[in-house]
């Protein structure tokens, strides 16, 4: 079973989600993301997992029509188990740089 941790930015993003969005994310993680990680095969197409071009080693996934999350693989916490570091979560806006001065 994979292990997880969350970055501070993810925690701040999480608090901005509605209860419905949080529930949906948890459901997708439980029913799709974790089984795909455990199977050690490719992610199912509906998750649309792909690398974030500007940040090597960071991946994005889709958990709702306008729901995105980014993650990276971290050092194993339990030998032989994948460790995921959740970095950001929200809508597609998480990929938009903040406005300038």
Q: List the structure tokens of 57.
A: 């080693």
| Rounded-to-integer distance, Cα 93 and Cα 21, Å | 15
pLDDT-derived band at 41 (thresholds 50, 70, 90) equals confident
Determine the average pLDDT of the residues in 51-80. Answer: 95
Residue 100 has pLDDT above 60, yes or no: no
Q: Residue 81, Cβ neighbours under 10 Å: how many?
A: 12
The predicted model scores a pTM of: 0.89
Q: In terms of C-beta distances under 8 Å and separation of at least 24 residues, what long-range contacts does 72-77 make, across chains too?
A: 74/5, 76/3, 77/3
What letter would DSSP give residue 7? -
As assigned by CATH, the class of the 3-94 domain is alpha beta
What letter would DSSP give residue 65? T
Per DSSP, what are the bridge partners of residue 89?
A: 69
pLDDT-derived band at 92 (thresholds 50, 70, 90) equals confident
């Amino acid at each position: 079973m994979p292990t997880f941790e969350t970055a501070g930015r993810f925690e701040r993003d999480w608090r901005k989600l509605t209860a419905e969005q949080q529930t949906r994310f948890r459901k997708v993680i439980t029913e799709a993301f974790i089984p795909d990680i455990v199977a050690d095969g490719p992610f199912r197409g509906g998750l649309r997992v792909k690398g974030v071009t500007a940040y090597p080693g960071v991946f994005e996934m889709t958990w709702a029509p306008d729901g995105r999350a980014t993650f990276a693989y971290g050092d194993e916490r339990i030998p032989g188990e994948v460790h995921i570091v959740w970095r950001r979560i929200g809508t597609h806006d998480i990929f938009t740089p903040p406005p300038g001065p």
